[in-house]
Amino acid sequence: MSTCSLEHPNGQKAESLPAKRLCKGECAQDGSVGGGGGKASRAVEVSIVIPVHNASCWLDECLQGIVDQDYTGSMELSVYDDASTDGSRAIVEGWRERLERRGVSMVISGHDSAQPRGVGHAKNQAVSQSSGKYLCFQDADDVMMPQRIHLQYEACLFNSTSLIGCQVRRDPEGSTERYTRWINNISQDQLSTQVTHTQCVCVCVWGGSRARQ
């Protein structure tokens, strides 16, 4: 598990399960928010995008990290469950009241086919069903530090075409020590190359404007 630290800036085709949106304030009669078929009481600034597959043992800590964010703007949690068999979706839905009290709307969808379709598919689906102006990518087995979203949001306002990352901490501490040290000290030139040509940089720490997607 990594923690985002903002120290600096069967062959059978199954039907997809319907999205469920949880709303704070006025919503359309179909329960949708933003781009889901109705107008929310206020526009969503930040959508937190989480692809999920059999992540039940990590989700509580991950979602608590969202509740603990010190960002005060409007937020939405967009989750796509990629054929989990361990009750992951039920765990996410079990956070309904806590997220609503925090003012976080939520949309959940997924599929229950025999085989998962991969993290790329799940992430793309979560992005497609979200409605925020800015996207914050989060993995189900990671935890955000309380200041992550507000710092990345402020950085996006400063340069709306930027892809914003952050440093990470590993839990347990010292695991993947060489990789953690490398990623936290990568230069700007190295970062530009790694992001566009390799998969070495942690996508789970990215944030940016939907306009550049």
Q: What is the pLDDT of residues 31-73, one digit of tens each?
A: 333 333 334 457 999 999 999 999 999 999 999 999 999 999 9
Residue length, the chain? 213
Q: What is the mean pLDDT of residues 164-168?
A: 71
Short-list 170, 164, 124, CA closest to 148: 164
Q: What is the mean pLDDT of residues 73-78?
A: 97
Q: What is the mean pLDDT of residues 72-90?
A: 97
Structure confidence at residue 185 as a pLDDT band (50, 70, 90): confident
CA 9 to chain CA centroid, nearest Å? 19
CB atoms near residue 192 (< 10 Å): 12
CB atoms near residue 142 (< 10 Å): 21
* Confidence check: pLDDT of 173 > 90: no
DSSP 8-state code for residue 212: G
* Confidence check: pLDDT of 30 > 60: no
- pLDDT of 199: 52
Backbone angles phi, psi at 93, to 5 degrees: -65, -25
Q: Minimum mean pLDDT among 83-92, 163-172, 203-212: which range? A: 203-212
What is the tens place of the pLDDT at every residue in 109-147? 999 999 999 999 999 999 999 999 999 999 999 999 999
Structure confidence at residue 195 as a pLDDT band (50, 70, 90): low
168, 50, 23, 112: CA torsion to nearest 10? -160
Report the amino acid identity of residue 44: V
* Confidence check: pLDDT of 190 > 50: yes
Domain 2-9+12-212 has CATH 3.30.565.10: no
